[in-house]
Chain A
Amino acid sequence: MKTVVITGATSGIGLETVRLLTEEGFHVLGIGRSAMNCKRAKEHISSHNPNARIVFFQADLMQQRDVLRVAEDIMAYLDEKSGGQLHALINNAGCVRSWYMTTEEGYEQQFALNHLAGFLLTHKLLPALQKARGRVIMTGSASHKGIKIRWDDVMLRRRYNPLTAYKQSKLCNILFAKGLNDRFAHSGIRAYVVDPGLVKTDIGNKETGSLVNLIWSLRKRAGVPPEIPAKTYAFLCRQEPAPEGLYYRHCKEKKYSGQVTRENADRLFALSERLCGLCDDTARQERTKAV
């Protein structure tokens, strides 16, 4: 049985994708922010499909210490239950913040959760993905088009705007997917971005200010139910051989921003490695080898 890890698994697109994947026979490891939400989600999935193989892990992925802890727990679980193999990792957790707020490391929260958390988790689960020649799927958005990365102020400390921060984080998702393909496609790993379209979820209603809350409440009325985008995630997990595109909507490859270049992907990769302390890890390993 193939194993899939999915973040943001307790509501919205994540929960619906979990339901679909378990119905298709995947063993799903979901990550949710609160223990209570994980419990509720598990009950929800089990009520639809009593035979569903689903395990939840609790972690606040906005904090890097939690990403590292849950990655370790998942690696141990995979070693024990699936021969250390991970078929797919779905980096779906995301947020919108009306105000500039920071994580414990002082990183802007949308950038930290929407991009860095997935970046770090993917790196920590890479050995299991390589073993299974697995797939990494990011939840993107068409809003990544028409924006550039502000390299001189990537966390928008000088002029924070919630929408700009969100759009930029979604451009980061697709640049990360490209960076992964450039580096690991030769070892069998494929990375994708799913554009879910406008979906009826609560992303703009969680911990946002009154204005963003109101705008999102009105806007999401025109959205599709989460079952629609969930099909694209299931398609990308199921398809053999692994599809070769990068950006998908409604199970079909779509065009993405001209900003998605190798140069930008490499630049973001290097920056993200530094912000996640992966350069420290590499330096430490090199020092240990030298000793």
Chain B
Amino acid sequence: MNVFITGAAGGLGRALANECGSRGYNMFLTDINEAGLFRIKQGLERQFNVTVTTKACDLTNPHSVDKMLAVLDTHGIRFDMVLNVAGCDFEGGFLERDREKLVKIVLLNNAATLRITHALLKRRRQGRPFSIVFVSSLASMFPMPLKATYAASKRFLLEFATALRQELRKDDVNVLTLCPAGMVTTEETLCGIKAQGFWGNVTTAPLEDVARRTIDCALAGKGVYTPGLMSRLLSFLGKFVPRSFVAAVVYRRWHHAQRKWMRADIIRS
């Protein structure tokens, strides 16, 4: 099995790469962080008997993506699975954020993901099933004031993946959307989850479980995977509550959590 992973030097990307390594899959990893890519490649090769190839790439830059694709074509590397992990968010309300950073959320989470998915579908291994995984978020299920751009970008992925899944079914392609709530990937995310209090704790899913089940779900042909019972319950209930009411509740929760988080950030720094 040959797997292509974007955002492979970050927390979820690394966990998915570890999971693929433990299953003996060969991997092509990309991330904007070249040093991080080198280290995860080292770690994977030392742990598992797998072939890992890396190429640093800014997925929001078409030239950078073309260069990376040229590497794949030069070596004739073809794939059975693509894990679209690369994504970003920046804390703070819409008007408090830098304009270019807001645009970057859409450029990376959406435009770059489409670019990679399209390119990799053209580079699938012939005669074998192909899996695409999009990393969306529980945030895609609700309107999310104070995380409006991020949540909308994740909603885009969910809608797009659902439609693409139907479109590509005849070509033996499975499309899975992962919709996790919080996951502890870094010390910063741990602080963020703590700042959310009870709801942060009950919706947080173990990273290693999410990684394992994501690959299981992709191989089993599932369409959407929302980790955690509480997250599944929230996404189910969300369908019956007026969206304007959800927005008001979410605003109160995030307003409080972000202030607490930023305060903790100031104390830490």
| Chain A interface residues (CB < 8 Å from chain B) | 64-65, 98-107, 156-158, 160, 207, 209-210, 274-275, 277
Contacts and interface: CB of A to CB of B under 8 A. Distances in A.
Interface in B184-235: 184-187, 190, 193-194, 201, 204, 206-208, 212
28 contacts: A99-B184, A99-B204, A99-B207, A100-B184, A100-B208, A101-B184, A102-B11, A102-B15, A102-B18, A102-B207, A104-B9, A104-B36, A104-B39, A106-B14, A106-B17, A106-B40, A106-B43, A106-B44, A106-B47, A156-B208, A157-B18, A157-B212, A209-B194, A209-B201, A210-B194, A274-B46, A275-B47, A277-B42
Given A104-B40, A157-B212, A275-B47, 12 more contacts: A99-B190, A99-B204, A99-B206, A99-B207, A101-B186, A101-B207, A106-B17, A106-B47, A157-B208, A160-B206, A209-B201, A274-B46
Contacts of A100: 15, 184, 206-208
Contact of B11 (A101, A156, A160, A277): A101
Rank and list the top 7 A-B pairs by shortest CB-CB distance, nearest first: A105-B43, A99-B184, A104-B39, A106-B43, A100-B208, A106-B14, A106-B18
Contact of A277 (B46, B185, B190): B46
User: Which secondary structure dominates chain A's binding surface?
Assistant: loop
Contacts of B14: 102, 106
A106 B31 CA distance: 15
Contacts of A99: 184, 190, 204, 206-207
Contacts of B39: 64-65, 104-105
Contact of A104 (B43, B184, B194, B204): B43
Contacts, number: 70
Contacts of A275: 43, 46-47
Interface in B1-15: 9, 11, 14-15
A207 B190 contact: yes
Contacts of A210: 194, 201
A105 B208 contact: no
B51 interface: no
Contacts of B208: 100, 156-158, 160
Contacts of B36: 104
